[in-house]
Amino acid sequence: MKKSRLSCYYLGLMVGLLVGVGGTGLSGQAASHNQTVTFGQLTNQNPHRLAAIRAAARQTLLTKTHAKASRVPAVFAVKLPTHMTKKATLTAKGLRMNLLPNAFNVRQIVIPYNQLSGKILNRYLPKKNRPVILKAKKVVALTFDDGPDPTLTPRLLKTLARNHVHATFFEVGQSVSRYPKVTRAVVKAGNEVGNHSWNHPDFNRIGTVASVQQVIRTDRAIYAATGKLPQYVRPPYGNITAAEGRQIQHPIIRWSVDSRDWAYLNTQKDISEVLRTTHPGSIILMHDIHAQSVAAVPTIIKRLKAKGYRFVTVSQLLNNQALPGLQYFAANNYRTAGK
């Protein structure tokens, strides 16, 4: 798998943050309330950041209207800003945006600043909402695909809780719809839930339109279970085209450590493969639908902790700065989705 050092994107992000805290007479403080700004200013002309603002706007619109899950497809049809010259207003509570006529009959929303952390430049955020950069070097993110399983996922949650570890679960929409209580339990325990398609097709085979519908349908199921749209998508088999990367309006999460647990179905082999290939910043891929995989987790956690590793969620590993249109393999290892 292609690896990179500090990519151009993160260099741009760092420069953007530096620009955001100086040169404007703000002395590093958040911009003043009721200040009109363009999206170009908010994002340093970064289209991925603007896509992240649109994602936050969708969640805000659903929350504001107390929308049922059946309204999730409609929120993706709402026309949201795509041009950097469009304007919004910084208020005490968040970013105020005017909306074009839409099916929700809402003319204006205010996106809370805590939903914009890592999405807009730091200079426009209150200090408490600015991303917290992980200082520890030996951090990894455990991720589990293809659940929820009504028996194995709760068993795994108990293991994670006993070891004070949080993980990220990429769930299949039809299983979420069947076992929403399990998905809620995943979130209640402090873990993250991501989108892993509705029924696990190869996106490269079904095409862009069908792939987008797979994602939206699963977003709807996860929203029905948790009240929140998932932030991330992991395409089945890791396959995604450039066109799908542009149209699927979520950060794409891949992996750098493949346990191959689905192939082995052998607890000891699962343990050996993960320990052999894990490095600082790794995103580890496992599955919570195989008993052998779930049985391997306690030993994996114990042995990696003994080596000085700390376990974090994908959001923490990426410093809450993952953006739509990009795919992430590990900390500081990403590129444009589909490339």
* Residues annotated as part of the active site: 145, 287
Contacts of 85 (CB under 8 A, 6+ apart): 38, 39, 40
Per DSSP, the three-state class of 80 is coil
Burial of 238 (0-12, 13-18, 19+ CB in 10 A): middle
Cβ atoms of residues 157 and 150 within 8 Å: no
Alpha helix locations (H) across the chain? Answer: 8-20, 39-43, 47-64, 72-75, 152-162, 173-178, 180-188, 203-206, 208-226, 242-247, 261-264, 267-277, 291-306, 314-317
Phi/psi at 135 (5° precision): -95, -25
Q: DSSP labels for 15-70?
A: HHHHHHTSSSS-TTPPPPTTEEEEHHHHHTT-HHHHHHHHHHHHHHHHHHTT--GG
Phi/psi at 246 (5° precision): -75, -35
Phi/psi at 328 (5° precision): -115, 130
